[in-house]
Structures are given as C-alpha cells and as structure tokens.
Amino acid sequence: MLLFSLCFVCLNLSSRVSFTLTWSVGLKNFESKLRKGQPQIILMKEGTDSSQGKPQLISNINACAAVVDAIRTTLGPRGMDKLIVDTKGQATISNDGATIMKQLDIVHPAAKILVDIAKSQDAEVGDGTTTVVLLAGQFLEQCKTLIEEGVHPHAIIRAFRRATNLAIEKINEIAVKINKKDPVELRSILAKCAGTSLNSKLIHQQKDFFAQMVVDAVMSLDSLLPLDMIGIKKVPGGALEESRLVDGVAFKKTFSYAGFEMQPKHYENPKIALLNIELELKAERDNAEIRVNNVEEYQKIVDTEWNILYQKLDLIHKSGAKVVLSKLPIGDVATQYFADRDMFCAGRVVDEDMKRTIKACGGAIMSTAHDLDDSVLGTCQLFEEKQIGAERFNFFNGCPQAKTCTIVLRGGAEQFLEETERSLHDAIMIVRRALKHDAVVAGGGAVELEVSKHLREYSRSIASKEQLFLAAYAKALEVIPRQLCDNAGFDSTTILNKLRARHAEGGKWYGVDVMNEDIADNFIACVWEPALVKINALTAASEAACLILSVDETIKSPRSSTDGPPMPGRGRGRPM
C-alpha cells in the first residue's frame, strides 16, 4: 500500500514538472511572436566578464600594491637590483624602475597604468621612475581604508588634485635656483645632481668619475641639448675606469677587405663623403639572365661592370674626399682602389652612426657618385682609427656642425655594461633637466617630508572632511624616506620621528643619511635632485591614483574567436 502511494506521488510530481516546462516554452514562443519585427538589442558578447562597485575598486588597488611590492626594494642608494629573465631566457639586471616595469609583462589592466607612469617619467625626466610608482601605490594604499569606510572616490580625487597643486607650489617655493653665470659653480651643481642619480646604481663606486663624464658630455652639446648627440658605445673587457669620453663621433671599425690595412688611418681636416652606394662588383646571377654565344660577348659584360664601378670610384676620388663612409658594402676592389689613392673607406656603417656623423660633420647622404661637391661633403678637424681593448674604433674629432660626443664604456659582463648604459642615461637626463630648469631640491626624502609637513599644516585650516584626505596624501609622501630607511636596514620609525621633529623646527632639507643611520641636512650633504623630477613624479603619481580610483567597473570581452590558435586543417604541410 505504501509503495503504491509513493509511486503515485512520483507520477504526480513528474507530470507537474512536464506541465511547467511545456507552459514556459509556450510562453517564450508567444513572447517572441510579440517581439517579431523589433530589432533585438545585444549589449555584450556572451561570456563577457564584468565586475563592479567597491570590491572592484579594492581589487584594483590590491593589484597595484602587488606591483609596487615588486619594485619597492630597489629605491635609493641601498636599494637592491632585480634580475629578470624574459621568455627568451635573456637575463637583465636592473635597478631602474621603468626597465623593471617594462620587463615584468604585467597583464592586470589597472596595474598597467603604473607601468605607463613609470614609462612616462622615464621619457619626460629620465629618473625617479621607482619613486613615481611607489608614490602612486602609497596614495592608493591610503585611499583603501577610506573607500572601505564608504567615502566616495570623487571626494578623494578632488582633494588629491588640490593637494598635488599645493605640493607643486611648495616645491617651487623652496627649490634653490642654480646660478648659471658662474661656470665653475654650475659644473659642480650639475655633477652633484648626476652623482645623486648614480648613487642608487650598480656603478655607485665610480660615481664621481662618471658624474664628471656625464656633465662633460652634456656641456659639450649645443643649447638644445639633443640627447641623440651623445652616443654610448660598449666595449666588453677592461675596467670601468678605462671608459672615456670622446669629443666627436666614434664607432666601431666596420667589416673590411684586404686592402684596408694599406689605407692611412689619420687625417687632419679631411673631406668626408657620406654615401648610400654599393661599391662592389654586382653579382647579377640572382636577378638577371644573360645569354651569350661567345667569350667576347661575355668579356664585354664583365668589362662594363668594372667600368661602372671604376666610374663611381673615380668620381668619388675627384671630389677630393679623403674619408668615404657608406651605409652599403664597400668591396675588395674599391677598398684597394682607395688604398692606392691615399683614402680611407668604411662600408656597412650603422644608420645611427651615419646620422650622427652627418649631424656632427655636416654634408649629406648621397645615393649617387655624381654631384659630389663641397656642399655635400662633411669635414672634421681630426679623423683617426684607434685601438680600444680588442676593438678598433674610428674617431671623428672636432666636428664643426653640431656638437657631439661619444662615451666609450669598458667593463666586464654584458649585463653589467647594459645596466651601466641605463644608469648613465638616467644621469644624462638629470643633468639636461637641471640645465634646462634651473632649480634643485635636496633628496633622500627631505623634500617629500617638507611638502608633507606643509600639507598637514594646511589641512588643519580646512573644516570639511577634505582635511582627512589631505592628511592621507601627506602621510603617503612619507613613503619615500620610510622606504629609503627600510632598504638600508634602518629603523624607519625612529628616523622618521627624528625627521618630523627636525622639519617642525624648520630644518627643511633634513633627510635620511644612508651612510650613518641618521638624519642629515641633505643640501649640505650634496644629495641634490632637479625640482622637476619631484614635480613630475608627484603629478604623474597622483594622476594615476585618481585614474584608478575613478574606475569602478571592468568589462572584459571574451577572446574573439579569431584570436584563438589556428584551426588544424589542410594546407601548409599539415596532414590531410
């Protein structure tokens, strides 16, 4: 009896289910009939992922914090370096924020913004790339608690924009102007700025040596200070101190043929021909078919080829050029021809070197040997070839047109040389900036603390809740001295307390003394940075923080089907 009633219940249940199903299907059909003729609105592709609201904001902030943690330890003179191995197995050792961020291959959309600000800082001022990322991360960190408590992001954004303007005003107010009139003083100030930038690099032991070299290099440029007029050549081997600055253009001896050794390697005031012509017997077998019936005919073809080449060589010789550079190969016949006529030649010159030579020595690149006259020939005071380590270099000294120089770097491992080049780039950019915008501030966290103090004082004069946000901004600025202490292994709380007290007493240039685990007047200690580095870092960091705060939804479209791996099928050697 029991069994029977159970069966009945089951039957009853299933019939009701089937009824509901048929009913709902019927309803859909009815609805679609109703909509017939109306366009269907499809907003997003199926599979689109969207997350929104406060949790999204917090998750973005957390992603940025993870990125900041990755480069936190590289800040300052006691910062560590990172060894990054890319997908191809290429290893890079670097201390430079922008380089590390570029290599990290970050995919998180919000965290990518931090990569962008590091890049823009690198392009704009060249240094302070770690600083900018740290600041942005800390701004967001400070906002996190506020957002969690329910503050609207726009209230914070407004306050942060105001705080940034106040901070920039303060930096401009306290920055010390460089006296450009006195060349000795100018040099020493620039060397100090370069030195501060090099402090945190792998080559900090040779900081003074390279700071002088960088200042010499930048001072040798013309008033526009074009960066591409400073060439950096790396020659593995030797000691770092054997690196040197060449006044003029220098590049590695190009590939050459037998007659090359007979050519003179020293000229004073030579005329320089810059060509884009192949001075070689053309091997026409690749792109021509010639049918001849007898040897005489063939001989004619060979003779013509030689004649064409000799015509070109004669024209070059007649132009009076003593040094011939070509982007294209210069063959053995031409090399010997020039050797016989007391001329020097170099083929396959790299485009970048060719451009720098043109800018420095004057002249123009010619694609024909005709019309080679003085207007298209360059010149320099001294041309010579010299041995550096295991390499031979061509030097063009005393270039009349644009002022240019080349830094020849010596050193051990390839990675070491590359990091040295990046470090010098930072220092060169800093010196250029200091020359263009002649104001400097003290580093080592001094300027950050002074601005922080100013903002705190200012915030107390505000009655609204903006006071809180300005204080959060001011607190975030302390991340720089704090991190400098942490990286050097100091007790950051003690040092920061000392610094705050000192700044309250009016010691505006007091910052971290990384040598003695103490605080010091960093202006006297010559830790100087161009004010522009700090201004740019603050602007970029606060812009990035505001941008990330204003995003409360991420919509990710599914990968389009064309992005996927290619479908297996016929063709291209695949099996049928």
Enzyme catalytic residues: 96, 129-130, 426
- The reply on whether position 277 binds ligand ADP by CB under 6 A is no
Instruction: Tell me the residue nearest to ligand ADP as measured from the CB.
Output: 443
Taking CB within 5 to 8 Å according to partner kind, which of Mg ion, ligand ADP, none is near residue 196? ligand ADP
Number of residues written out for the chain: 576
Instruction: Tell me the residue nearest to Mg ion as measured from the CB.
Output: 127
Q: List the one residue from 99, 129, 319, 423 that touches ligand ADP (CB under 6 A).
A: 129
Cβ nearer to ligand ADP, comparing 347 with 511: 511
How far, in Å, CA of 161 to CA of 152, rounded? 15
- Our CA angle for 306, 310, 313, nearest 5°, is 145
Q: List the one residue from 127, 247, 353, 478 that touches ligand ADP (CB under 6 A).
A: 127
In the complex, minimum distance from the CB of residue 368 to ligand ADP, in angstroms, rounded to a whole number: 49
Scanning 74-82, 313-321, 556-564, 568-576 for contacts with ligand ADP by CB under 6 A, the matching segment is: 74-82
Taking CB within 5 to 8 Å according to partner kind, which of ligand ADP, Mg ion, none is near residue 478? none
In the complex, minimum distance from the CB of residue 219 to ligand ADP, in angstroms, rounded to a whole number: 22
In the complex, minimum distance from the CB of residue 155 to ligand ADP, in angstroms, rounded to a whole number: 30
Cβ nearer to ligand ADP, comparing 131 with 394: 131
How far, in Å, CA of 192 to CA of 179, rounded? 14
300 burial via Cβ count (<10 Å: 0-12, 13-18, 19+): exposed
Helix 479-488, helix 446-460: angle, nearest 10: 140
- The reply on whether position 514 binds ligand ADP by CB under 6 A is yes
Cβ nearer to ligand ADP, comparing 129 with 335: 129
Q: Are 548 and 68 in contact (CB under 8 A)?
A: no
In the complex, minimum distance from the CB of residue 211 to ligand ADP, in angstroms, rounded to a whole number: 12
- The reply on whether position 147 binds ligand ADP by CB under 6 A is no
Strands 244-252 and 405-411: antiparallel
Tokens of 304: 């013509």
- The reply on whether position 76 binds ligand ADP by CB under 6 A is yes
- Which DSSP category does 322 fall into? S
Cβ nearer to Mg ion, comparing 197 with 452: 197
SS (H, E, C) 237-299: ECCHHHCEEEEEEEEECCCCCHHHHHCCCEEECCEEEEECCCECCCCCCCCCCCCCCCHHHHH
Binding region for Mg ion (CB under 5 A): 127, 197
Tokens of 3: 């069994």
Closest CA to 131 of 96, 158, 105, 181: 96
Binding track over 474-513 against ligand ADP, x by CB under 6 A: ------x---x---------------------------x-
How far, in Å, CA of 273 to CA of 322, rounded? 8
- The reply on whether position 199 binds ligand ADP by CB under 6 A is yes
- The reply on whether position 97 binds ligand ADP by CB under 6 A is yes
- The reply on whether position 363 binds ligand ADP by CB under 6 A is no
In the complex, minimum distance from the CB of residue 111 to ligand ADP, in angstroms, rounded to a whole number: 18
Scanning 121-129, 155-163, 414-422, 554-562 for contacts with ligand ADP by CB under 6 A, the matching segment is: 121-129
Cβ nearer to ligand ADP, comparing 131 with 406: 131
Cβ nearer to Mg ion, comparing 195 with 363: 195
489: alpha, beta or left, given left = phi > 0 and alpha = psi -120 to 50?
Answer: left
Residue 233 has phi, psi (to 5 degrees) of: -115, 135
- The reply on whether position 130 binds ligand ADP by CB under 6 A is yes
Helix 129-148, helix 97-104: angle, nearest 10: 70
In the complex, minimum distance from the CB of residue 199 to ligand ADP, in angstroms, rounded to a whole number: 3
How far, in Å, CA of 185 to CA of 434, rounded? 13
Taking CB within 5 to 8 Å according to partner kind, which of Mg ion, ligand ADP, none is near residue 77? ligand ADP
Question: What is the Cβ-side half-sphere exposure of residue 402, based on CA atoms within 13 angstroms?
Answer: 21
Question: Tokens 């009655």 label which residue?
Answer: 463
Tokens of 461: 């004069």
Cβ nearer to ligand ADP, comparing 405 with 525: 525
Residue type at 484 in one-letter notation = L
- Which DSSP category does 523 fall into? T
Question: Tokens 């306050």 label which residue?
Answer: 159
Q: List the one residue from 60, 74, 379, 492 that touches ligand ADP (CB under 6 A).
A: 74
Scanning 39-47, 73-81, 463-471, 547-555 for contacts with ligand ADP by CB under 6 A, the matching segment is: 73-81
Cβ nearer to ligand ADP, comparing 196 with 326: 196
Q: How many residues bind ligand ADP (CB under 6 A)?
A: 23
Closest CA to 163 of 539, 571, 437: 539
Residue type at 212 in one-letter notation = Q
Catalog residues that contact ligand ADP under the rule CB under 6 A: 74-77, 79, 95, 97, 127-131, 196, 199-200, 443-444, 480, 484, 512, 514, 527, 529
